[in-house]
Amino acid sequence: MSKKESKNSFERSLARLEKIVTSLEQGDVPLDESLMMFEEGVQLSKECMETLNKAEVRIKQLTKDLNGKLQLTDFEE
């Protein structure tokens, strides 16, 4: 999967997750459908977190020191 596809996949997953949350918060979805949406939301949340964790690791790996050498450093939020 290319970087663009990966980003689009993340963006689509996050957008779908937001729609699920909005629908569940409104409370007008039948129980069975709510459960299916909740399960989908949990899976999407896990996938998004995994993508974000991988991105954080890459940021840590690509941080340069003062001499221009790449070094592993913590990501500063």
CATH value at residue 40: 1.10.287
What is the rounded CA–CA span in Å between residue 14 and residue 56?
Answer: 17
Q: Is residue 40 in some structural domain?
A: yes
Q: Is residue 69 in some structural domain?
A: no
pLDDT per position in the chain (77 positions), as tens? 555 566 679 999 999 999 999 999 999 999 999 999 999 999 999 999 999 999 888 877 777 666 667 666 665 55
Residue with token string 């996050």: 14
Is pTM, for the whole model, over 0.85?
no
What's the burial of 20, exposed, middle or buried (CB within 10 Å: 0-12/13-18/19+)? buried
Number of domains in the chain: 1
Q: Is residue 71 in some structural domain?
A: no
Q: Identify the bridge partners of residue 3 per DSSP, sorted by sequence position.
A: none
Residue with token string 């913590």: 74
